[in-house]
Every structure is written in structure tokens, then in C-alpha cells.
A and B are shown apart, each in its own frame.
Chain A
Amino acid sequence: MVVNKAFICLCEDVTVDELLAAIQLGYRDIEEIKRITGIGTGPCQGKQCLHILRQVLSNEAGVPIEQIPLTTLRTPIVPVRFGQWAAKGDDEEEAR
């Protein structure tokens, strides 16, 4: 059973209801849903919420979850302090 007031995204306070509303408006692309609901845009960067989003979208749209991609993954995967980024280091290493 889905409790619709349950939170999917704890960082951005997004509930199942809000996700369902976006899907009902016709949004099916995970990148659109991320932007319209804010799911996955907080400090956890989707690590807690994106798979739940995919499962709900899979159920609602009738699409196997394997066919729903993740959003683009980018640096940093965890929040990193500006002071750490700015610290002196071997700039050559950045090319990796």
C-alpha cells in the first residue's frame, strides 16, 4: 500500500502525492519529473529517492523499471566544502 502523504525525497520534502500529480500531468521523463518536483536535487543527490521515484513511475506508467534511466550523475556525489575544493593541490590530477 502506498501512503500518499509519505515522503519520497526527504531533502526536498516531496511526497508521493506530489509525484503522482506530476505523472498525472503527463510528465514521464525522469529529468522532467526531477525538475518539476525537485526530487533528487537536495544534499543526498538522489541516492535515497531516485529509485523510489523510478519504482512509482514504473507502476504508474506501466513501464518496466529497467527502462527508466537515472538522471545524469555529476560531481560532487556528496556535498564538498568550498574550502576543500579551493585548497592547494596538484592541478594536473584534475584531468582524471
Chain B
Amino acid sequence: MRSAANIVIIGSGVTGLSTAYALVKKGMSDIIILEKGYLASGASTRNGGGIRAQFATEQNIMLAKASIARFRKLGVELGANFWFRQGGYLFTAESQEQMEVLTKAAEFQSRFKLGTKIIDCDEVQRLVPEMVCKSIIGGSYRRGDGVLFPFPLLFGYAEFLRENAVTIETHCEVTGVRRGHHDTELGTSRGHINANIVLNAAGGWSSRIGEMFDLKIPTAPVRHQIMVSEPLKPFLDPMIVTIGDGFYMSQGPRGELVGGITDDGHGGNDPSKSTVHFCRKISKRIVSLFPKLSGASMMRQWAGFYDMSPDANPILDEIEGFPGAYVACGFSGHGFMISPAVGEFMAALLLGDKPPFPRQPYRLSRFAEGERPAERLVVG
């Protein structure tokens, strides 16, 4: 392994890959990505592929809106077909209180011209004819949201980066950090490496990497589970969400249903383990909303982390006391869907350019400065 590079990115998840992609597009070279497991082995290869701009904070909406525009072009740029399908996101409410949350969020989103519509039960039924809407009183719907298939995007990034001389070192764990005279020295399981610029994009492990920089990052990995059904005839156009229990489900281009539901911590926090409890919980929800699916089968299931930040908004910042060191983490389950814009934001930050969005709301120091609006639309 090389012992020096201009830029080292810790983590080969979608945040690290999209940042490297944006850096290459800005003409940068001499970039190494370090990955402790296999390529994108954290949350990036474990997410449900949901892409939406329906959020409740400006921070997430701005990144998500810009990212959706980028996803529409990225496939051609990378030569990778990741099946981005804008079938919309349909959030549904089962109580007046939940309806209020959606109505407020839609009003807020109108400032950003997202075109989110508040709809009644009949309209929900029209959008998802197969769903039993007994418990549902209404919802919010945005056509431009959708789903994509994460793997081809991740591997598409990796291939593009390798073709452009970016080195991706998998199975290479960062074990320590030392501040050098003009750079940062990283200890790894495969030797030392010096870098002028370092980005901590370690997802669920980012707070642990933060400690190596003597930096307290108030994020924590929380396990979430997802299941996929056998392929079925297409019947579900939008991604549906019931916000009361964090249930979501979409139908992929080959007909499989992909879905999750809020995990109540039952059975621990280890993403290499899955629980029967989850399978039963989500199945009960699926059958209650879609009785016809009783006879369809769950094919497989898996687990991964959300890197939760205290306000469920991302942290995109420089690391104090370490010139040239940066962090992008705390995506709280939304990292994939906002990754193209995050990559461009971080690339600008790393190069000392002006990022496309104001830096202040994404700073780590916000937690010490007091209350800020938290993202309420966390699903799963």
C-alpha cells in the first residue's frame, strides 16, 4: 500500500464514493479510499433504495432536492443502470396528530417548491388501489420522489473511480490518527499513510473514528432491518409509508417488495444478526394493509445501521484542531438519498471552495449551541 496521498477518505460507503467522484470531477487526483470491510459494506449496501425530498428540515430538503436532480443524470455519467424510478413517496397518517405532522411538513416543503400534495383517504386509495385504507385518514404525496437499486450505483462509482486512478483499499482498517507537521498520519491494519486532507466518512463507525481525532461526535449506530419478498406482478407505484410505526414498502423494477419497520431494539443492535421478531412485526403490518399478500412470501431479510445524530440531520464539517481533516456523518438513515449533493458539498469543503449550501446548519458545533429543529420524518 502507498504510504502517502493528497486525499484519504475513510469509508467506501456512498458518502466516501460520491465525495471522491466529485473530487475527480473537479480535477483532483492522488486519492485513496480506505475501507475496513468489503466495498460499501456498511449501510450503503444495506439500505432500501428510497429517494425522497419530503423532509421536515431545510438541511435535508436542500441536499435531497439537489440529489434527485443529480440521480437523474448520474446513470449516464457513470455508465451504470441503477434503475431510478420516480414513482413518488406516499406518506400516510392514521391519526389527526400524524396528519398534522404531514401537513406542517408539506407547508414547509412548499418554501422549496417541492410540489408536495396533501391528499385525503380517497386519493390515497386511488394511488394504491390494492391497499386497505381503513385505518388511513390521508397523507402527503410527492411524485418526484422514488426508489433506486443501490448496488449498481455503488459499483458504478467504484469502477469510475478506479478508471480515474483513485485507489480503493478494502479490508484496510484505520487504527489510529496522529497530527503531523503539515499533514495527518493514519495508522492502518496495513501500515501507515500520510495525507494532506482526510475525510471521516465511516458511517456507523464515524464516531469511533472521531475519537481517534480527539473529537466527540454525538452520533450512534442503530440497527434497522429490511426484508424483500419474492418477485410479484407490479401493483405498487409509490413508496408507501405509515408514519405512526415507521413502516415503508416499495416495489422494485423486478417486482420484489422491499420494506422495513421501526425496530424496537428487540434482539440487540448487531447488524450481522436478524430477528424473527422483525419478520413477524413487518408481516403483520403488510397483511393488515394488503390482505392479498398473505399468500406471498418473504424471500430474505437483512440488517444495517442508521448513524443517528441528535437532530437526525447530517454533520458536514471540518475537524477542529486537525487542519485538513473533515467529517461527513450522522445521516440518520438518509445518507444514500442525499449522497450526490453531500459529495459535492464535501468536495468543495475539502478543497477550500465555497460549498453549494450554507455551512452553518451542518456544523458539529450546533449541538453545543442549543436547540435546533430536528428532522421528524425519519422512517424505518
Q: Which residues of A are interface residues toward B (Cβ below 8 A)?
A: 25-27, 29, 31-32, 35-36, 41-43, 45, 72, 74-76, 79-86, 89, 91, 94-96
Contact = CB atoms under 8 A, between A and B. Distances in A.
A86 B298 CA distance: 11
B84 to A, nearest CB: 18
Contact of A94 (B280, B288, B298): B280
Given A36-B155, A74-B274, 5 more contacts: A35-B151, A35-B155, A72-B272, A79-B299, A81-B298
A55 B291 CA distance: 43
A82 B274 contact: no
Given A29-B170, A31-B41, A75-B274, A82 B286 contact: yes
Interface of B: 38-39, 41, 45, 151, 154-155, 159, 162, 170-171, 229-230, 267, 272, 274-277, 279-280, 282-284, 286-288, 293-303
A76 to B, nearest CB: 6
B321 to A, nearest CB: 35
B230 A83 contact: no
Contacts of B303: 74
A80 B151 contact: no
Given A43-B230, A74-B300, A74-B302, A83 B284 contact: no
A43 B272 contact: no
8 contacts: A36-B151, A76-B298, A79-B299, A80-B298, A82-B229, A82-B287, A83-B294, A86-B294
A29 B38 contact: yes
A7 to B, nearest CB: 17
Contacts of B277: 91, 94
Nearest to A77: B300
Given A29-B170, A32-B39, A36-B155, A82 B276 contact: no
Contacts of A84: 283
B38 A32 contact: yes
Given A35-B151, A43-B299, A75-B276, A85 B283 contact: yes
Q: Which 4 A-B pairs have the closest CB atoms?
A: A83-B294, A85-B283, A79-B297, A29-B38
B295 A76 contact: no
- Among A41, A83, A85, find the residue whose CB has the most chain B CB atoms closer than 10 A: A85
Given A31-B38, A31-B41, A86 B280 contact: yes
Given A35-B45, A36-B151, A81 B297 contact: yes
A43 B326 CA distance: 43
Contacts of B293: 82-83
Choose among A42, A91, A94 the residue with the greatest number of B CB atoms under 10 Å from its CB: A94
A95 B159 CA distance: 42
A74 B284 CA distance: 20
Given A25-B159, A75-B301, A94-B280, A83 B295 contact: yes
B15 to A, nearest CB: 18
B299 A45 contact: yes
A86 B284 contact: yes
Given A25-B159, A32-B39, A42 B299 contact: yes
Given A82-B287, A86-B280, A86-B286, A41 B300 contact: yes
